[in-house]
Amino acid sequence: MVLAQNITGNKTIEAYIKEDKYEMELFSKYKQYYGYVFILEKKYSKNK
């Protein structure tokens, strides 16, 4: 990854890249089962 080569010392970015690489490995291995779900929720308040 080009970004990984250009960014050193920033622990937040390094952790993000590591997590992203792991997700890519999971997708490659389980792509037939892979997907995303988006849930929209509305906060409910009894004191309206």
**Domain regions of the chain by residue span:** 1-48
Length of the chain, in residues: 48
Q: How far apart are CA 18 and CA 39, in angstroms?
A: 26
pLDDT at 25: 93
Q: Yes or no: say if 11 and 25 are a contact pair by the CB < 8 Å rule.
A: no
- For residue 33 the two structure tokens come to 């089962």
> pLDDT of the chain along its 48 residues, tens only?
555 566 778 888 889 889 999 989 998 999 898 777 888 888 888 875
- Predicted TM-score of the model (pTM): 0.52
Cβ count within 10 A of residue 14: 13
| Nearest to 16, CA basis, from 25, 6, 4 | 4
